[in-house]
Structure 1
Amino acid sequence: MAFLPPWAGVLVYFFCVSLAGSDFSDLYPPLWLKSPGQFSDYRVENGKYIIDPWVYSERMGMYKILVNKTASYFENFVPDNEQNILWGLPLQNGWQFRTGRLADPRRRKDCGYESGDLLCISVDSWWADMNYFLCALPFLAAVDSGIMGISSDEVMLLPPPKDQTNFCLNVSSCQSSFPEIMSKWNAFYQHLQYPSSSFEDLLKYLWAAHASTLENAGKIFEDRLEYYSKPEADFGRNWCVAVEYLAASLFPTTLIITHEFQKGLPPRMLVNGDRAPFISDFTDFQNAVLLVLSFLPRLDNSSAHCLIAIS
């Protein structure tokens, strides 16, 4: 069970403090406008849409379709789609891309680097693998729920070049491999379609699904953190714990709020020698957030994995 102690409000405060007076132009994640926005933008083979989630623009396209297809359900809150709480997923993926966290952490290949294939997403990246679960499962659960406008057997994801058994690739394989997670995402989409669902209700179901996804992925990909510097690996573990408190607070992952909160996240990969609050090329805000995150393992014994229970 994740409880929100009084001090955790400081964490939420740090993530929201920059809202006042901000310039809200250019809020979308990198390459959002150039990414696929409908299923017909992907190739078709044997009656199935084929998507390569190991190419950044194609993975981002999955998020774009998801955000577009669910837009009408948030019209009761705000006329445009800014209040769609699924915005947090593509914006997080965009931050990972922009800061180099989707690239090969060992640089054995040029996957994810400007010197090679910048749009390549490395299966060796802990961030990329964790994000896969927060892309493929909510996307395929949405397909299964019927809100995407295609049948459950009309879409197939391509596997990574290795460790294929860690990843499900279509609705049926995800239901078979991760039934509890898929059930929670389906519950979110079911309540999304209820006219009586409040904004807070939707946040509860979203965070329950998000937390369950992160918990399972964290167990599978813990070994990937060995590929990183100690500060970056510690940040990854601390981030899992931070999400626990964001979930407990029902943090609203809308477009503007998520965009602003990401201003406190590290703008690059952490390297040996980085120690908040003394990282010279980070803003005061970024140093402060990183410092708060570094305290979390002392206050929470679940930092070994992304473990969380929401009720």
Structure 2
Amino acid sequence: MAFLHPWVCVFVGCFSVSLAGTDNLTTLYPPLWEESPGQFSDYKVENGKYIIDPWIYLERIGAYKILTNKTSMFFERFEGGSEENILWGLALQHGWQYSSGRLVDPTQKSNCGYESNHLCISVDSWWADLNYFLCALPFFAAVDSGIMGISSDQVLFLPPPVEQTKFCFSVSSCKSSYPELMRKWNLFYQYMKSPFSSFDDLLKYYWEAHTSTLDATYRTFEDRIEYYSKPEGDFERNWLLLVKYLTEMRFPTTLNRTHEFQEGLPPRMLVSGDQPPFISNFTNLQNTVLFALDVLYKVDSATGSFSLTLWKIFMEIPGARVLALEIFEEVFKIFNQKWL
């Protein structure tokens, strides 16, 4: 196509995903997955409500674990079974944020998230705050839709120590504060429960809810970016743009694909002096991914987001999304053979 500029090839090459299976799925799970709560009864109960503290890593990842467990049956009809549950992407992303140190207090005014208190999730973390809504809203919408097996008033998230007004903590408060976002997550679950919905349909509604959630909440936490080094702040900015491209492609956030995708993400916080593609303790893939993201952002800015518009047009062509994923896989294999 005439509008497939060279930057698309860079983008495609860097975010290729291997479809290779694995005999031991537990190696793909987020950190401390086995140790985290897996059912509501694993949490404490007060006044007839299950109390989840989303500012402790084990309790937030436990909420994702319950969500994936309760929804896995709806993906059994697809080839690959429960591993095809596209909600795995949310859990694995939170796991990467934890393992890469992105949930710690970036102000360093507390020990939250650091070695002596490594399970603590800081309310001052940009990553943690945006992820909160990609946990709370899909979780509470699942409760509201009847999937979780409890009533809407039976579960509560605890607030952070400060700035409580920026968050919602229950089905009712999230529906009150974010009615349109809750509606979109509920719509996703409605289609998920339908035996007639296709996998592509589910991806469409999932990504619409996912992207809408980020669009509606990221400005609330823009002040957090000043706590980070310039390379990390640039990466956060670039990450939000990447999500828009993945949305249009309807990237399948299954267990295997998300795990392979995250192999290209930075394994630690970026610090002053980090300059991709020349970060010495990053893999070639991680360096190239970061470099490509920066190129993508610069192209998008220079074209007034016209490049994203072209990408959207291309993704609407029948078969284009399937072709893009196939190219991702093939170029990734070539990349591995050449560099790894």
Task: Place the TM-score, normalised by the shorter chain, in its bin.
Answer: over 0.9
Paired residue for 2:272?
272
Paired residue for 2:210?
210
Q: Compute the TM-score of the two structures, normalised by the length of structure 2.
A: 0.85
SS of match in other structure, 2:112: coil
SS of match in other structure, 1:214: helix
Which amino acid counterpart does residue 181 of structure 1 have in structure 2? L
| d(CA) in 2 for partners of 1:95, 1:11 | 21
The CA deviation string for residues 236-282 of structure 1, in whole angstroms up to 9 with x for no partner, is: 00000001101110000000000000000001000001011000000
Change (3 A) 1:12 1:24: farther
Paired residue for 1:135?
135
Which amino acid counterpart does residue 38 of structure 1 have in structure 2? Q
Tell me, which stretches of 5 or more residues in structure 1 are unaligned? 303-307
Paired residue for 1:124?
124
Q: Compute the TM-score of the two structures, normalised by the length of structure 1.
A: 0.92
Paired residue for 2:89?
88
> 2:88·2:254 contact (CA, 8 Å) conserved in 1?
yes
Aligned length: 302
Paired residue for 2:171?
171
Give 1 or 2: higher helix fraction: 2
> 1:24·1:256 contact (CA, 8 Å) conserved in 2?
no
The 5-angstrom pairing of residues 45-56 of structure 1 reads 45-56=46-57
2:247 aligned with 1:247, yes or no? yes
Question: 1:298: how far off?
Answer: 1.7
| d(CA) in 2 for partners of 1:20, 1:221 | 37
Change (3 A) 1:242 1:24: farther
2:280 aligned with 1:289, yes or no? no
Question: 1:295: how far off?
Answer: 1.3
> 2:203·2:250 contact (CA, 8 Å) conserved in 1?
yes
> 1:15·1:260 contact (CA, 8 Å) conserved in 2?
no
| d(CA) in 1 for partners of 2:4, 2:140 | 35
Change (3 A) 1:39 1:297: same
Which amino acid counterpart does residue 76 of structure 2 have in structure 1? E
Question: 1:301: how far off?
Answer: 4.0
2:41 aligned with 1:40, yes or no? yes
Paired residue for 1:69?
70
Which amino acid counterpart does residue 112 of structure 1 have in structure 2? G
Change (3 A) 1:148 1:17: closer
SS of match in other structure, 2:173: helix
The CA deviation string for residues 4-34 of structure 1, in whole angstroms up to 9 with x for no partner, is: 9664454244222555587865000001011
Which amino acid counterpart does residue 112 of structure 2 have in structure 1? C
Change (3 A) 1:22 1:8: farther
2:263 aligned with 1:263, yes or no? yes
Change (3 A) 1:271 1:197: same
> 2:113·2:121 contact (CA, 8 Å) conserved in 1?
yes
> 1:263·1:286 contact (CA, 8 Å) conserved in 2?
yes
Change (3 A) 1:155 1:255: same
Identity %: 64
Change (3 A) 1:200 1:9: farther
Paired residue for 1:305?
none
| d(CA) in 2 for partners of 1:144, 1:221 | 27
| d(CA) in 1 for partners of 2:101, 2:91 | 15
Paired residue for 2:233?
233
Question: 1:106: how far off?
Answer: 1.4
Question: 1:84: how far off?
Answer: 0.3
SS of match in other structure, 1:44: strand
